[in-house]
């Protein structure tokens, strides 16, 4: 087991650099630089463009630029944003917590709703619970986030006036937990709805799978009570796939949700990534990518460990690469 | 567990059969109606005006440039269904074999396939989109590629996990001991056991792909204007006045998407039950 | 416990003056902006976008305030006049103006700002705005010759131009890019280090608002400058948030925004929603958008360019985009302005077909680029050109990709819009110039001749004649196709009074006259 973890950690290094190189190269293929945005106005003259590109370091050859960036990262410096002129590290630090708060709340809400619903739906197939689970999944799969966001804003902010339509606080800054929660409710609800369907379906499928196992049948035949079977065997057996689904949301939690953050003007990483892409602010895009890469690698390691721990049969079979 | 037996079991599930019928009808209508009716989804009718409400001539009214919304709905179906099934199919086609292979072979194979999944999972989709736009420009193939190739990791991970668990089961070990070739064991014994969660994901993937298509267009990888799609039509609802004042614009494509996803769910459930060797779907009856 | 958590969150998520003082005492104006701004250093905005300018407008002071119709009001300068036979302008600065740290704004500050920014060692991208001044090269860098910015006395600033320019024309053209910096705070800093000062993270300006806090790209909290020379804004805090376009109007109706830039403008089709949400909608009188079809003059021959102009149904395009609040255009000159010419455009498909044949059009498909929100417009253009027999395919891309694609020649056409001004060369001078030849005009010499002639002519009547001559040349050459001038609908703030909505399109807002309705 410990050898496996060690191998994983060692492999994470080339994987991490592979990811950054890949994203760096992909960004270079995109047409336009931040200087081209000047076309909205009078445009940039050749001299002006050259000066700006030199200042931003865009005139250096590709490998030099990547190595420069990589050198910075190794020293803990993610570079400086082209647009805002601020250190990327500072910008990400400002955005990480709000993203965590919004998406984290959303995912927690959907876990809290999906687990009981999924288990009940599996326990009593074709019952009202099962139908409710299907209906929830249907809405979650077929209604896009932007639509849910705007419909939510229309109903709860514009028509009823209960919840604020945008932002994280009213006024200039943090002014109480209640205010923050009111701002959080609508966007977190949309994030929750987005993840709910998959989670309900996964939970239901996993529980059904376990319920079909012989040992459960045996347990039930032996007269073990429904509740006892459920708690002792089914939930434990269904744990892996459900855990997979929940954990697979973690990078998403850290990376933020682009659509929801944008529509609600939430100051998270998703909206940061979006505006950085539109303004070709590559240091910021790379910075966000690094954070997402680290969280994906970390999560997947956790995920595999969870597999191993939850299922003893898996534990002993993982070999070295 | 033969194909015939599964089909017979599937046919006993009335809901699944009806859903399959509806899906088939959707595909047929989307494919045939534009030709049969001679629809012109891209032609503006300036005499009807922009954003005209429904009339006898334009049953669903016209859009922002005076095009007939009904024609666009029907023709949009072609593209949306193609994108939805294409992308979900690609995710499954890549994800299931890789997941199986990784889980069955384990060792270096499993290790590096999963690391590849790590890499792909990490690329923010808008970065990939930006790159593809620059390299090839908008096309349906591109959309399917982007959505399909970004979506396989989750499926692979799911199948991988299940395969790891299944391959240690006694009966698989028994078949192996009796000299079953790996390919045969995988196909005959492992696959049926690990795909059932995939059926549950499939309906979701198709729905998501249909919806994602419309949100790709802002960076240019979407459809080539003026092609129509359900997602694109639904996107008109991002304007407050369309959302609240012109439900005939977004409700029909919305209903089409919901119907498609619903039917896929039922078909997926039916398929899962039909192929599930131990009939776990009916376990608690 | 609750209090502790609240305090912790407050520390983590950022504090506001009002949050600390308590909300009752605080008058906050919530201000929406659909896109983020760049750095808070006004001469370091790589995108050069209006979203940045409208922010600088609050923190820093400008010489004048430009109204939508082109009228000018005093701001940093109380009055001005021409000098040196039209080659210079003298600005008499407002003696009450002061930086937020209390230092009075003097002519020396203006001169120093210009001197420091035009310093070739300073990497400021905004220095090109100074290229109109004597002593600078085409990119705005100082050449070593005497710089065209002098302090005649503590409160008199003299700017000397390369070509004769009236102070009014100068202000219409450049006012939104000339800001005075607190040069006394960085006297000892080297030019190369100027942009990396901590000062720009918490800037000190002399504008109507003071800096409080910023979440870069998302939220900016400004305070009211109580000593602003034109009056104290009627709020304690101006909270500027980036809000997606689709949520601006809903937020306003819901009461979560008091105002959004620019001028609360709303599409004609959304005006009924605003009205039914209880908001008043005002129709702007001055055109504030100019739409053009950018053309690649290398791939599209002159007859083809003329054919496109005749084939387009500008009336229908204008109606689609503005909902009737606009007029088709056949020139880039502001309608109703001093130089306006008679609009003689009309659609003529027959003639367009003939011109296509004459231009040897071989049936190839041209590529038109536009941003996603204009894909409907592009679809209409495609149909209209198809009626004349010209086929195009549409690429919806974002604006960086569109402008770079036009510049490197990968697109043949593109749909763009701009904020027009009353000056005769507002559009043509920068786009038909060496180094920024976005239309790929093979020979710019005749254009340069016309432009220099117009700039050098001081007599109004003679100038008008030259402008008319230039326009005739443009009509004949058609390097780009003017589509229409549009006016805006302005959603009125239900809570803030005194907003000059139309002037917001010109990147200045009279926040010092804003008061809250009680």
Q: How far is B55 from chain C (nearest CA, A)?
A: 19
Q: What is the pLDDT of residue B1?
A: 45
- Structural tokens at position A204: 């239901």
Q: Binning pLDDT at 50, 70 and 90, where does residue C356 land?
A: very high
pLDDT of C2 over the 60 cut: no
- What is the per-residue pLDDT across C435-450, written as a single tens digit (0 to 9) for each? 788 999 999 999 999 9
Residue A318 pLDDT: 41
Q: Is B64 inside any structural domain?
A: no
Find tokens 């407008």 and name the residue: C57
Please give the biggest Cα pair distance in chain B.
Answer: 76
For residue A172, the model assigns a pLDDT of 65
Contacts of C247 in chain A (CB under 8 A): 150, 153, 165-166, 263-265
**Residue with structure tokens 């043949």?**
C412
**Residue B157: pLDDT above 90?**
no
Tokens of C326: 């606009």
Helix (H) or strand (E) holding C222, with range, is: strand C219-224
C2: nearest CB among A54, A171, A177: A177
What is the residue-averaged pLDDT of chain A?
81
Percent of chain C with pLDDT over 70: 95
Residue C126 and residue A85: Cα distance in Å, rounded?
14
Give the whole-angstrom CA distance, residue B281 versus residue B272. Answer: 8
Mean pLDDT of chain B, nearest integer: 82
- CATH architecture observed for domain C289-486: Roll (3.10)
Q: Are A241 and B237 inside 8 Å of each other by CB?
A: no
B237 touches chain C (CB under 8 A): no
Token readout for A147 is: 């639509």
Superfamily of domain C1-60+207-283+488-518: Periplasmic binding protein-like II (3.40.190.10)
| Alpha carbons B131 and B128: distance in angstroms, whole number | 5
> What digits encode the pLDDT tens for the residues B23-50?
999 999 999 988 888 888 888 888 888 8
3-state secondary structure of C256: coil
Higher pLDDT among residues B102 and C13, named by residue? B102
Flag whether B197 is in a domain: yes
Interchain contact, B220 vs C396, CB within 8 Å: yes
Q: Which pLDDT does position B273 carry in this prediction?
A: 75
CA of B42: which chain C residue's CA is closest? C379
Residue C212 clears pLDDT 50, i.e. is over it:
yes
Calculate Rg over the CA atoms of chain C: 24
Residues 302 to 331 of C: which have CB under 8 A from any A CB?
none
Backbone angles phi, psi at C326, to 5 degrees: -175, 170
Q: Would you say B157 and A250 are in contact if contact means Cβ atoms under 8 Å apart?
A: no
**A128 belongs to a structural domain:** yes
Q: Mark yes or no for CB contact C438/A43 under 8 Å.
A: yes
Average pLDDT in the B188-200 region?
A: 74
- pLDDT (0 to 100) of residue B278: 53
Does the pLDDT at position B107 exceed 90?
A: no
pLDDT band at B134 (very low <50, low <70, confident <90, very high): low
Instruction: With a cut of 90, say whether residue B216 has pLDDT above it.
Output: no
More confident residue, A3 or A321: A3
State the SS3 of chain A: CHHHHHHHHHHHHHHHHHHHHHHHHHHHHCCCCHHHHHHHCCCCCHHHHHHHHHHHCCCCCHHHHHHHHHHHHHCCCCCECCCCCCEHHHHHHHHHHHHHHHHHHHHHHHHHHHHHHHHHHHHCCCCHHHHHHHHHHHHHHHCCHHHHHHHHHHHHHHHCCCCCCCCCCCCCCCCCHHHHHHHHHHHHHHHHHHHHHHHHHHHHHHHHHHHCCHHHHHHHHCCCCHHHHHHHHHHHHHHHHHHHHHHCCHHHHHHCCHHHHHHCCCCCHHHHHHHHHHCCCHHHHHHHHHHHHHHHHHHHHHHHHHHHHHCHHHHCCCCCC
Dist. CA C267–CA A281, nearest whole Å? 30
The reply to whether B50 touches chain C by the CB within 8 Å rule is: yes
Question: Residue B129: is its pLDDT beyond 90?
Answer: no
Model confidence band, residue B104 (pLDDT cutoffs 50, 70, 90): confident
Instruction: Search chain C and give the residue with CA nearest B214.
Output: C372
Which residues 206-265 on chain C approach chain A with CB closer than 8 angstroms? 212-213, 215-219, 221, 237, 239, 241-244, 246-247, 250-251, 253-257
Q: Please check whether residue B61 lies inside any domain of the structure.
A: no
Q: Which residue of B134, B276, B278 is in closest CB contact with A30?
A: B134
Give CA separation, A74 vs A68, A89, C279, in Å: 10, 13, 54
C41-56: per-residue pLDDT in tens?
999 888 888 999 999 9
In C375-517 the beta strands, taken as DSSP E runs, fall at 391-396, 413-418, 480-486, 489-491, 496-497, 515-516
The answer to whether residue B213 sits within a structural domain is yes
Average pLDDT over residues B87-102: 91
Q: Is the pLDDT of residue C23 over 60?
A: no
pTM equals 0.88
Number of domains composing chain A: 1
CATH no. for residue B232?
A: 1.10.3720.10
pLDDT at C347: 92
End-to-end CA distance of chain C: 37
Flag whether pLDDT at A30 surpasses 90.
no
Residue reference for tokens 């290790």: B111
* Cβ-based neighbours of C76, under 8 Å, separated by 6 or more: C61, C62, C63, C64, C91, C93, C94, C97, C105, C180, C206
Residue A159 C-alpha, separation from nearest chain C C-alpha, in angstroms? 8
Which residue of B164, B207, B260 is in closest CB contact with A314? Answer: B164
Which of the four pLDDT bands, split at 50, 70 and 90, describes residue C127?
Answer: confident
What are A199-228's pLDDT values in tens digits? 888 888 778 777 777 677 777 777 666 777
Domain span holding position B184? 3-39+70-279
Q: Enumerate residues 192 to 251 of chain B having a beta carbon within 8 A of any beta carbon in chain A.
A: 196-197, 200-201, 203-204, 207-208, 211, 214-215, 219, 231, 234-235, 237-238, 240, 243-244, 250
pLDDT of residue B227: 86
Q: What is the pLDDT of residues C132-145, one digit of tens each?
A: 999 998 888 899 89
**CA-based nearest distance C14→chain A, Å:** 6
pLDDT of residue A316: 42
SS3 string, A261-295, reads HHHCCCCCHHHHHHHHHHCCCHHHHHHHHHHHHHH
Q: Which of A194-198, B171-175, B195-199 has the highest mean pLDDT?
A: A194-198
Helix (H) or strand (E) holding C258: none
Distance from CA of B237 to the nearest CA of A (A): 7
**H or E stretch at C219:** strand C219-224
Pull the structure tokens for residue C146: 């005497």
Mean predicted confidence (pLDDT) in C475-485: 94
pLDDT at A311: 60
What pLDDT digit, counting tens, does each position of C160-200 carry? 999 999 999 999 989 999 999 999 999 999 988 898 899 99
Classify residue B45: in a domain, yes or no: no
- Which of C6, C212, C402 shows the shortest C-beta gap to A176? C6
Rounded Cα distance between C349 and C337, Å, is 30
pLDDT for C62 equals: 95
Q: Do C401 and A32 touch (CB under 8 A)?
A: yes
pLDDT tier at A175, thresholds 50, 70, 90: confident
Give the per-residue pLDDT at C207. Answer: 95
Q: How large is the average pLDDT for residues A74-86?
A: 89
The confidence score (pLDDT) of residue B280 equals 44
Residue from B46, B240, B249 whose CB has the most chain C CBs within 10 Å, to mutate: B240
More confident residue, C338 or B73: B73
Domains identified in chain B, total number: 1
> Which pLDDT belongs to residue B285?
31
Peptide bond into B272 cis (omega under 30): no
Q: Where are the alpha helices (DSSP H) in C238-301?
A: 245-254, 271-276
- Interchain CB contacts (distance < 8 Å): A and B: 189
pLDDT exceeds cutoff 80 at B18: yes
Query: pLDDT digits over A114-161, tens only?
Result: 888 988 888 887 788 888 988 888 888 888 888 889 899 999 998 898
Question: C130 to chain A nearest CA, in Å?
Answer: 12
The token pair at A279 is 């303004």
3 state SS of C393? strand
In which residue ranges of chain C is CATH 3.90.76.10 found?
61-192
Confidence of residue A317 (pLDDT cuts 50, 70, 90): very low
Residue B245 is assigned to a structural domain of this protein: yes
The whole-number average pLDDT for the span C27-32 is 92
Using DSSP's 3-state secondary structure scheme, residue C486 falls into strand
CATH of C61-192, one of 3.90.1150.10, 3.40.50.720, 3.90.76.10, 1.10.1740.10: 3.90.76.10
Is residue A193 within 8 A of residue A122, CB to CB? The reply is no
Asked if residue C489 lies in contact with residue C47, where contact means CB atoms within 8 angstroms, the answer is no
Cα separations in angstroms, A130 against A119, A125, C70, C436: 9, 6, 67, 64
Q: What is the largest CA-CA distance in chain A?
A: 85
For residue B284, what pLDDT is reported?
Answer: 34
H/E element holding C77? strand C77-83
Residue B60 domain-assigned? Answer: no
Question: Is there a contact between A85 and C36 if contact means CB atoms under 8 Å apart?
Answer: no
Quickly state the pLDDT bin for C348 (edges 50, 70, 90). very high
Percent of chain A with pLDDT over 70: 85
Given a cut of 90, is residue B265 above it in pLDDT? no
**Contact status, residue C423 vs residue C173, Cβ threshold 8 Å:** yes
Which of B137, B224, B239 minimises the CB distance to C246?
B239
Residue A115 lies inside a defined structural domain of this protein? yes
Average pLDDT of the residues of chain C: 90
SS3 B278: coil
Q: Where are the alpha helices (DSSP H) in C280-436?
A: 302-311, 314-322, 349-358, 375-387, 399-407, 428-431
- In C, which residues are within 8 Å of A77 by CB distance? none
| Identity of the residue in B43, B138, B241 whose CB atom sits nearest the CB atom of C272 | B241
Q: Among A147-156, A238-247, C277-286, whose mean pLDDT is lowest?
A: A238-247
Percent of chain B at pLDDT > 70 equals 89
C81-126 pLDDT, tens digit each: 999 988 999 999 999 999 999 999 999 999 999 999 999 888 888 8
Residue range(s) defining the domain that contains residue A207: 88-319
Nearest to B94 by CA among B167, B19, B149, B21: B149
CATH number of the domain encompassing residue A171: 1.10.3720.10
pLDDT at position A115, please? Answer: 87
The Cα A134–Cα A156 span in angstroms is: 25
- Rounded to an integer, the average pLDDT of B249-256 is 92
Is residue A6 domain-resident? Answer: no
Contact assignment for A157 to C399 by CB distance below 8 Å:
no
The yes-or-no verdict on residue B136 having pLDDT over 80 is no
pLDDT at A299: 81
pLDDT of the residue at C6: 53
- Work out the minimum CA distance from C101 to partner chain B, whole angstroms: 44
Cis peptide before C252 (omega within 30 of 0): no
Of the two residues C123 and A241, the one the predictor is more confident about is: C123
Asked if A177 and C2 count as a contact pair (C-beta separation under 8 A), the reply is yes
Tell me the nearest-neighbour CA distance from A287 into chain C, angstroms.
Answer: 15
pLDDT at A52: 78
Q: Read off the pLDDT band of B281 (50, 70, 90).
A: very low
Per-residue pLDDT at B3: 59
Which H/E stretch holds residue C330?
A: none
Residue B83 lies in a domain: yes
Give me the pLDDT at residue C13, please: 53
């Amino acid at each position: 087991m410990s050898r496996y973890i060690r191998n994983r950690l060692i492999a994470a290094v080339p994987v991490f650099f592979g990811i950054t190189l890949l994203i760096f190269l992909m960004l270079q293929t995109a047409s336009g630089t931040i200087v081209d945005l000047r076309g909205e106005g009078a445009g940039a003259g050749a001299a002006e463009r050259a000066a700006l590109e030199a200042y931003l370091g865009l005139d250096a050859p590709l490998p030099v630029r990547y190595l420069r960036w990589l050198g910075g990262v190794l020293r803990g410096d993610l570079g400086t944003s082209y647009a805002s002129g601020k250190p990327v590290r500072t910008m990400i630090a400002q955005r990480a917590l709000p993203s965590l708060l919004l998406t984290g709340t959303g995912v927690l809400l959907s876990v809290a709703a999906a687990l009981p619903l999924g288990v009940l739906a599996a326990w009593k197939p074709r019952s009202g619970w099962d139908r409710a689970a299907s209906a929830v999944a249907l809405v979650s799969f077929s209604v896009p986030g932007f639509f849910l966001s705007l419909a939510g804003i229309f109903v709860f902010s514009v028509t009823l006036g209960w919840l604020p339509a945008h932002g994280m606080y009213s006024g200039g800054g943090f002014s109480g937990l209640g205010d923050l929660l009111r701002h959080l409710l609508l966007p977190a609800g949309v994030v929750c709805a987005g993840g709910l369907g998959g989670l309900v379906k996964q939970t239901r499928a996993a529980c059904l799978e376990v319920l079909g196992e012989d040992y459960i049948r045996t347990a039930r035949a032996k007269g073990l009570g429904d509740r006892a079977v459920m708690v002792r065997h089914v939930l434990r057996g269904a744990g892996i796939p459900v855990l997979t689904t929940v954990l697979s949301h973690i990078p998403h939690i850290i990376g933020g949700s682009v659509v929801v953050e944008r529509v609600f003007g939430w100051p998270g990483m998703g909206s940061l990534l979006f505006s950085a892409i539109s303004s070709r602010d590559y240091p910021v895009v790379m910075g966000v990518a690094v954070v997402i890469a680290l969280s994906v690698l970390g999560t997947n390691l956790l995920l595999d460990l969870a597999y191993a721990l939850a299922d003893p049969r898996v534990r002993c079979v993982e070999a070295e690469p | 567990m033969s194909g015939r037996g599964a089909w017979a079991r599937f046919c006993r599930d009335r809901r699944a059969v009806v859903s399959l019928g509806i899906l088939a009808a959707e595909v047929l209508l989307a494919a045939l109606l534009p030709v049969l009716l001679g629809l012109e989804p891209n032609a503006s009718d300036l005499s009807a005006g922009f954003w005209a409400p429904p009339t006898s001539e334009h049953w669903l009214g016209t859009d922002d440039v005076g095009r007939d919304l009904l024609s666009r709905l029907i023709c949009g179906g072609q593209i949306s269904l193609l994108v939805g099934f294409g992308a979900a199919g690609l995710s499954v086609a890549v994800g299931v074999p890789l997941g199986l292979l990784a889980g069955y072979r384990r060792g270096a194979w499993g290790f590096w396939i999963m690391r590849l999944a790590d890499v792909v999972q990490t690329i923010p989709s808008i970065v990939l989109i930006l790159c593809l736009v620059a390299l090839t420009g908008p096309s349906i193939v591109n959309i399917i590629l982007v959505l399909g190739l970004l979506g396989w990791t989750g499926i692979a991970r799911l199948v991988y996990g299940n395969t790891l668990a299944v391959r240690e089961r006694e009966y698989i070990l028994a078949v192996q001991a009796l000299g079953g070739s790996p390919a045969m064991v995988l196909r005959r014994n492992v696959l049926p056991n690990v795909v059932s969660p995939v059926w549950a994901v499939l309906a979701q993937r198709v729905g998501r792909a249909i919806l994602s298509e419309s949100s790709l267009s802002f960076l240019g990888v979407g459809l080539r204007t003026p092609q129509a799609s359900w997602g694109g039509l639904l996107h008109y609802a991002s304007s407050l006045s369309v959302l609240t004042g012109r439900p005939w614009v977004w409700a029909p494509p919305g209903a089409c998407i919901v119907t498609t996803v619903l039917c896929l769910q039922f078909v997926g459930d039916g398929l899962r039950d039909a192929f599930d060797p131990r009939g776990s779907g009916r376990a608690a009856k | 416990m609750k209090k502790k958590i609240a305090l912790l969150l407050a520390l983590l998520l950022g504090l506001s003056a009002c949050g600390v003082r308590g909300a009752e005492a605080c008058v906050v104006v919530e201000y929406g902006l659909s896109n983020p701004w760049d750095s808070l250093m006004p001469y370091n905005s790589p995108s050069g976008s209006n979203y940045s300018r409208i922010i600088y407008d609050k923190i820093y002071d400008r010489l004048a305030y430009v109204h939508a119709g082109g009228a000018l009001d005093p701001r940093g300068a109380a009055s001005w006049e021409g000098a040196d036979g039209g080659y210079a302008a003298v600005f008499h600065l407002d003696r009450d103006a002061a930086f937020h740290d209390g230092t009075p704004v003097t002519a020396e500050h203006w001169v120093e700002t210009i001197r420091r920014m035009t310093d070739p060692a300073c990497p400021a991208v905004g220095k090109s705005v100074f290229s109109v001044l004597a002593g600078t090269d085409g990119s705005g860098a100082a050449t070593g010759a005497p710089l065209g910015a002098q302090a005649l006395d503590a409160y008199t600033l003299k700017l000397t131009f390369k070509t004769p320019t009236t102070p009014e024309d100068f202000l219409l053209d450049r006012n939104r890019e000339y800001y005075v910096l607190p040069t006394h705070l960085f006297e000892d800093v080297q030019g190369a280090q100027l942009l990396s000062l901590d000062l720009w993270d918490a800037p000190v300006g002399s504008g109507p608002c003071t800096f409080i806090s910023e979440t870069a790209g998302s939220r900016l909290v400004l305070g009211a400058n109580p000593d602003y020379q034109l009056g104290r804004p009627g709020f304690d805090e101006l909270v500027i948030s980036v809000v997606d376009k689709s949520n601006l109007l809903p937020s306003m109706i819901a009461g979560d925004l008091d105002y959004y830039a620019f001028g609360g403008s709303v599409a004609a089709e959304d005006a009924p929603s605003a009205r039914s949400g209880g908001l008043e909608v005002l129709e702007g009188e001055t055109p504030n958008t100019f739409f053009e079809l950018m053309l690649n003059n290398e791939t599209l021959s002159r007859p083809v360019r003329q054919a496109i102009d005749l084939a387009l149904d500008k009336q229908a395009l204008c109606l689609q985009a503005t909902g009737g609040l606009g007029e088709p255009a056949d020139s880039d000159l502001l309608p109703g302005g001093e130089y306006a010419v008679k609009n003689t455009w009309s659609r003529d498909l027959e003639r367009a077909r003939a011109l296509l044949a004459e231009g040897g059009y071989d049936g190839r498909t041209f590529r038109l680029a536009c941003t996603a929100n204009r894909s409907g417009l592009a679809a209409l253009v495609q149909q209209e050109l198809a009626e004349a027999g010209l086929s195009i395919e549409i690429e919806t891309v974002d604006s960086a990709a569109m402008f770079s694609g036009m510049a490197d020649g990968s697109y043949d056409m593109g749909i763009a819009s701009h904020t027009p001004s009353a000056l005769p060369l507002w559009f043509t001078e920068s786009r038909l110039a060496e180094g920024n030849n976005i239309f790929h005009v093979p020979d710019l010499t005749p254009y340069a001749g016309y432009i220099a002639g117009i700039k050098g002519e001081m007599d109004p009547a003679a100038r008008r004649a030259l402008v008319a001559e230039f326009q005739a040349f443009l009509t004949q050459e058609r390097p780009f196709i003017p589509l229409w001038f549009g006016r805006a609908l302005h959603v009125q703030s239900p809570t803030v009074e005194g907003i000059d909505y139309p002037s917001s399109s010109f990147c200045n807002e009279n926040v010092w006259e804003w008061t809250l309705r009680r």
